[in-house]
Structure 1
């Protein structure tokens, strides 16, 4: 039973991490019939109001207050100090970063979290597309 549970946990974690996606610079850019189909801009909002770029976040983060996943809940993230969600085991690097998540900080952080906070547990490679980051940040502002 424990071996099955451990295997299931490993598979779930692998799937969650694979959902993080590639940086925009590595995404196919083909626009002709011979190449891959163009990648739609993640800034386009889904019917539920979430920008498509949020799918990368949803693999690890909840938007429900008090519901942490692999990453902390994103409810109330805008204006919050880094490392401040109760019950989430942050890295010391994140807890001691002194960051407060405003527009500029989120834009820089989402571009390359590991560069902005060396030692963070967030292994996300970053979101290269500025329009996608803006759409994501605008959505994060609405989460209370």
Structure 2
């Protein structure tokens, strides 16, 4: 190979590099990226800080006493299938991730034998009244901060009332329905 052939090869390589360099500058000028004002992505999250700071769930649109007057235990049984992954409903049924829910209405909180409740649930005294169940099922972590229950809640008033009516039916002697305030 003579020097003339070597010069042609080197010229072709340098010419290609020059074309690539010019193309890169041109593409950079045409497609200049804009740097964001704030790096990263904003993720929209439903805020529950205000609810937790108040110590409870947001007030329901209608009182549970009024909702229970038209609630359906049959619809509640269907809606409660969401709960069946963690809870059992039959009398004397075993505890799972959550306690057995037979006779839950008017039962003391954290009282199911053989179930290890979270410290937050043990600290919250009282009974599971209709109103307490309504508040808890709306937003469990918002109502009892620190509860181990990982369920997001039932935001729909009618669905919550149906589930509570179903839970009421799970007893040898169901608790009387509360009277609706007028």
> So what's the TM-score if we normalise by structure 1?
0.64
* Preserved CA contact (<8 Å) 1:110 1:133: yes
2: CA distance between counterparts of 1:57 and 1:93? 20
Q: Tell me, which stretches of 5 or more residues in structure 1 are unaligned?
A: 1-42
2:78 to 52, 73, 76: 52
Pairing of 1:131-142 with structure 2 (within 5 A): 131-142=158-169
Q: Gaps (5+ residues) in structure 2?
A: 1-71, 172-182
1:39 is matched with none
Moved over 6 A (4+): none
Choose 1 or 2 for highest CA Rg: 2
Residues 63, 44 of structure 1: CA spacing in aligned structure 2 closer, same or farther, 3 A cutoff? closer
Alpha-carbon distance change, 123 to 131 in structure 1, aligned in 2, over 3 angstroms: same
Normalising by structure 2, we get a TM-score of 0.51
Shift of 1:44: 8.2
Partner of residue 88 from structure 1, selected from 102, 105, 115? 115
Q: Does the residue aligned with 2:167 lie in a helix, a strand or coil? A: helix
Q: Structure 1 residue 95: deviation in Å?
A: 1.0
Q: Aligned pair count? A: 99
